[in-house]
Amino acid sequence: HYQSKSAHLNGIVHDFGSIHIDAGEQVKMIVHFQDLDGQPLELKTFRMTFYDIDEAPHHLAQEYIIADGHPSTIRDHNTEIHKRNVHAGVEFEATEIGSGADNPEDSSELTHEQKDRSVVLTYRHIKQFHVTMGSHRGHHPRAFEFAMHSALTCH
């Protein structure tokens, strides 16, 4: 059951989906695909990009994403995101401090820093997958921004 002090801020922000999660909490999101009749649909290729993976000062509220199913991934060559394999898939964790002031507004006009804090998940022949978004202990909710496309694969 999802709850957050900042849930009222969830929705579409610019060209991103945005989910706010309280520090020290996590949310498991299920992404599944259906045709117009509600029947499961298998996609040949699907990309989902997470942006602005960062943390608060003093290594508080360090954001992470766990992508089930071991998708292929793309990160910028100067990435600020630590990657490691975990039992269920692959985990990406913030390594640098960020604030709302450095959040992207347009996925087609990312700064170098914004690219360095983004990760693209690519799934092949997929009907559904799970992504866990969360942050370690801290004081303030974190915003997770994502898009169902990839600006990084176009560069």
Query: pTM here?
Result: 0.91
**pLDDT of residue 155 exceeding 50:** no
Q: What separation in angstroms does the CA of 57 have from each of 7, 13, 50, 60, 149?
A: 23, 24, 21, 6, 30
Identify which of 113, 112, 131 has the alpha carbon closest to the alpha carbon of residue 121: 131
**pLDDT of residue 25 exceeding 90:** yes
Contact 136, 25 (CB under 8 A): no
Average pLDDT, the chain: 92
